[in-house]
Amino acid sequence: MDPRPAYLDLLDPMALAKLGRLELIARQVVEGFVSGRHKSPYKGFSVEFAEHREYSPGDDIRDIDWRVYGKSDRYYIKQYEEETNLRANILLDASGSMAYAGKTVSKFRYAQMLAASLAHLMLRQSDAVGLVTYDSTVRRYIPPRSRASHLRAMLEEMSDTQPGGETSLGGIFHDVAERIFRRGLVVVISDLFDDVDRLLGGLHHFRYKRHEVLLIHVMAPEELTFPFTSWTQFRNLERADHRLQLDPRSVRDQYLQAVASFVGQLRRETGRMEIDYIQVDTATPFDVALSGYLGRRMARKKK
């Protein structure tokens, strides 16, 4: 028997079951917050055929491709370019700092699970999803597709990617903003270790292009509380030659103030840009963090 493919480990069945109960909420968030599936008023004479997707209860039977049914004995819907669902791009940070684990899973593993679950959720809603993996440069760009089979390509890329290299978020965001031609949702999953002005400049580029942006800030508990009490050697995970040995108690207050200032500036500036900023830590199960966000989005929408 062939071993289970490693990429399937990124999809936790229990977590997906929990998120599955939020499917209606998630779809409404997509429709109300970013975009929704909407049929073109020009259907029938000025639309461009894009692809087929499997029929789902509630679809208009007039959209069924009966020729395909005759060949396959299965119902498929013709999907047109103007019959767009949400087009989303997930930007997964694979820089060296994401390898930090502490007493929990690594930030990168946590980010992989978040990205995989989001991709799975959006594809179930017939949205088109793409993936960007990056460190100081774009490693791989998989353009958005809405086919269910597209999930495997993204999971394989996530699974095969190992964190390493330096961070260059501002430059990456500018690069990716120029590659995405159609307005949609940009999901950034990162520990956001970069110069804050360059980082915000890159995010502004997405907003200038009229993309909706969801910024998921992944941090380890140790990065938030700095619990170290004895002399410790700290190593830069992005530059192996950078090491520092010190008494953490001597810098703890200064460190925590710097983190609070950084996060506070991110919250303020992303709020001004109407970007959803979510801070998560790797001690919180990723499905809890994700379902909590979806729930809050739905609650705000109802107000």
The reply to whether the predicted model has a pTM over 0.85 is: no
pLDDT for the residue 36: 41
Q: What is the per-residue DSSP string for 172-193?
A: HHHHHHHH--S--EEEEEE---
123's tokens: 């594809």
Contact 138, 115 (CB under 8 A): no
Q: List pLDDT tens digits, range 242-266.
A: 777 777 788 889 989 999 999 999 9
132 closest CA partner among 152, 154, 117:
154
Buried b (16+ CB within 10 A) or exposed e, 86-118: bbbbbbbbbbbbbbbeeebbbbbbbbbbbbbbb
Beta bridge partners of 281: 219
- Domains within the chain, CATH numbers bracketed: 6-28+84-302 (3.40.50.410), 39-80 (no CATH)
Mean pLDDT, contiguous 10-residue spans, the chain (303 residues): 70 72 40 37 44 62 78 72 69 94 92 92 85 94 88 93 90 94 90 93 94 94 87 69 76 91 96 94 89 73 58
